[in-house]
Amino acid sequence: MKFRDYIKDNIFGILCQITGLGIVAVLAYLLGNPPGLICLLGGAWLGAVFVYYLILFFLKKRKTERMLILLEELPEKYVISELLSKPYDQEGLVYYHILKAACKSMMEKVCEVKHEKKEYKEYIEQWVHEIKTPIAGMKLIASNHKGEAMRGISLEIEWLERYVEQVLYYAKSETVEQDYLIRKCSIMEIVHKAIASNHLILLESGIQVEVEESEDMVFTDEKWCIFILGQLITNSIKYRKENGKSKIEFFLEKTEHEVRLHMKDNGIGISEEDLPRIYEKGFTGRNNEGAVRSTGIGLYLCHALCERLGIGLKVVSKEFEFTDVILAFSKENFE
């Protein structure tokens, strides 16, 4: 709050004080009081008025600044009324009760939305687990009936399984901390498990996978990391070149503070203008003509999960040449 703005807000009261002073001064002069005494009394009046408004200004300024600090520190802004002290003036009391009623209504609505969201999340998780049974049955039937048609069906079932898995992890992405177990893991073992879970899609897509073996260990949650790598692998499959030999390389880069896992492919790449937007939900980029399966959720979900797990995520790409996805695991987390 600026003093100039405060004066503007109280200009009517100040003008009334000045008008009253003028009337009293004229009356005092007409009654025969000496001008010197009138000026002295007028100066004392103006001084008292100035001090009064100055004190009120500093009190209100301190109060508003405290409120703004409280508001800034609150994660849920709508509970600000719970931290405000009850005012003494009647006008302030009216606004105080209005704010309390509005915040109460907001909290009730937030609780209602949270409850609905929780129920929806639980339903999605239950649905995913239930649909896994018929998918497993379809896979078993397809594996027992060989033939070109069944190979195509098996491939589509694999894609269906990937999307069902994506739905499950998307539903759990906001509560990762309730469903992870950080322990010492072999980074290349995680890579091999992610490749194995996508082996049929990789095989049918004709993509060659090269892994530079290493015995390096990292502290992370294996299940979530396998899912993240699985999403990155399916992205590489979707955005591979239709002509030419496609491949994905996995290798490590070690620095003083990090162990970096590179997953580099020779696909269609990402344009320079699209690169800053790849983590946006639903964004597929202008190179998406051939990637008919792309949903724009994969990298968004990977980015969100990496942030929650404390894994650095960086994408380096050159259009029509390569895409290099780098997962950085901090050594400080396990030294």
The pLDDT of residue 93 is: 84
Q: Which of 24-28, 96-100, 191-195 reaches the highest mean pLDDT?
A: 191-195
Report the chain's mean pLDDT, rounded to a whole number.
85
Give the residue-averaged pLDDT of 138-163. Answer: 85
- pLDDT tens for 228-257 read 999 999 999 988 887 778 999 999 999 888
The pLDDT of residue 325 is: 96
The fraction of the chain above a pLDDT of 90, given in percent, is 23
Q: With a cut of 90, say whether residue 225 has pLDDT above it.
A: yes
The pLDDT of residue 288 is: 55
Locate the DSSP E strands across the chain.
183-186, 207-211, 217-220, 246-254, 258-265, 312-318, 322-330
- Domains, the chain, ranges and CATH? 3-105 (no CATH), 186-333 (3.30.565.10)
Q: In what order do the strands lie in the sheet with 312-318?
A: 207-211, 246-254, 258-265, 322-330, 312-318
> Measured between alpha carbons, how far is 269 from 263 in angstroms, rounded to an integer?
13
Residue 158: other Cβ atoms inside 10 A: 21
Six-digit token pair at 219?
């502290």
Six-digit token pair at 330?
């901090």
Give the residue-averaged pLDDT of 109-135. Answer: 88
The fraction of the chain above a pLDDT of 70, given in percent, is 94
Residue 47: other Cβ atoms inside 10 A: 10
The pLDDT of residue 204 is: 87
- pLDDT tens for 256-315 read 889 999 999 998 999 889 898 999 888 877 655 545 556 678 899 999 999 988 899 999
52-56, 95-99, 114-118, 241-245: least confidently modelled range: 241-245
- pLDDT tens for 57-110 read 888 888 888 878 877 877 777 777 777 777 777 877 888 888 888 888 888 888
106-115, 118-127, 172-181, 266-275: least confidently modelled range: 172-181
Residue 34 DSSP symbol: -
> Measured between alpha carbons, how far is 266 from 278 in angstroms, rounded to an integer?
18
Name residue, tokens 């609150």: 74
Amino acid letter, 190: I
Of residues 194 and 182, more confidently modeled: 194
The pLDDT of residue 253 is: 93
What is the biggest distance separating any 2 CA atoms in the chain, rounded to whole angstroms? 121
The pLDDT of residue 195 is: 95
The pLDDT of residue 202 is: 92
Q: Which pTM value belongs to this model? A: 0.69
